[in-house]
Amino acid sequence: MRRRIYPVTLPMSEIKSVGVVGGGMMGSGIAQLSAVNGFEVWIHDSDSAALSKANQSISTRIQSIVSKGQLSKEKGAQALRNLNCTSNLEDFGLVDIVIEAIVESEEVKKRLFGLLDNIVKSSAILASNTSSISITRLASATSRPSQVIGMHFMNPPPIMKLVEIIRGANTSDDTFNATKVLAERLGKKIICSQDFSGFIVNRILMPMINEAFHALYTGVATKEDIDAGMKYGTNHPMGPLELADHIGLDVCLSIMRVLYAGLGDSKYAPCPLLVQYVDAGRLGRKKGFGVYNYSKM
C-alpha cells in the first residue's frame, strides 16, 4: 500500500481527536468516555450492524447519565456531536491517536497496526487496549515503533477508574507523556507496566480466575461457594467465576495462553475446564451461558 502523507499540525502532547477501532463493549466504552470529555471521536467497525449498535448504545448511555444528573444536557448534546461513526479506516487520517479495541489476537492486531501505519498522519500515536499481548511485537508491524503504546482500559471504560499504560521497548517519552495526559483528561487513575506478558492487572487476576476453575474442576467446592468465598471473605465485588463470565471465557483463555507462552511457567497453564467451556461455546454473559446460565436469569 502506498503511504499517504498528512501534515503534522499538533505536538503529541496536544491530543484533540481520538480514533477507536472496534464497536464492541470496550471500543464503544472508550469512544463514549472520549466524547464526553470533549474529544472529537471517530469509532470504526467493519461490521455495519456492530457499528450501528455501538452508536445506539453510546447514545443511550449518554442520555442515561444526563437523565441522572451526572452530566448536563449541554455537555451530553456536545458529546453526541463529538461522535462520528465510520466503516472506513481512511477516515482516521487526521486523528491524533488511534486506540484499537479489537479481538485479543496478536496476528489480527499487527495486521490492523500495519494498515493504520499507512493511513494516520506521521505524528499520530497507535495505542492498543490489549490486556496481555507484547506492545513491542505489535509495534514491529509499523514504521513508527516509538509511537506505539499500550493503553489498557478496564471494563466498562466509562465506569472503571483504571488505565494501565505499557511502554514497548521503543516507546518514546513523548508518546508516553501524551498518552498519560490523555488518560488523566479522561479522569483515570494510571498505573505503568513494563512490557511483560499480562502486564500488572492480568498477570495477577487471570491466574486467580484460572485457580478458581481448578477448584471447580477438582471438586473443591461448588461455583456458588467459590464465588461467595471471594466476595465475602476478601471483599471482592464479584467472585472470580462470575467475573470470568463477565470478561468472557474466551478472553480469559486467550490471556492465560499468552501468559503460559510468554512466561514459560506451568503455573500459567490454562485449566482444562476453562478450555472445555470455551470449546463448547460457553463464553459467558455475552453468549448467555458460561460458568453460569444467564438465559434462566
pLDDT of res. 2: 40
The pairing of beta strand 125-128 with beta strand 97-100: parallel
- Is 82 annotated to bind ligand? no
| Residues labelled as active-site residues | 131, 152, 164, 202
117 in a labelled binding site: no
Which of the residue ranges 3-17, 136-150, 172-186, 276-290 would you say has the lowest mean pLDDT? 3-17
Does 267 score more than 60 pLDDT? yes
Q: What is the pLDDT of residues 183-210, one digit of tens each?
A: 999 999 999 999 999 999 999 999 999 9
| Residue 177 predicted with pLDDT over 60 | yes
pTM of the predicted protein model: 0.89
The reply, when asked if residue 104 is annotated as ligand binding, is: yes
Residue 5: pLDDT over 50: no
pLDDT of residue 13: 52
* Interval 284-297: pLDDT, tens: 999 999 999 998 76
**How confident is the model at residue 3, as a pLDDT?**
43
pLDDT of 33-77, one tens digit each?
A: 999 999 999 999 999 999 999 999 999 999 999 999 999 999 999
Residue type present at position 50 = A
Task: Tell me if 25 is assigned to a ligand binding site.
Answer: yes
Residue 189, marked binder: no
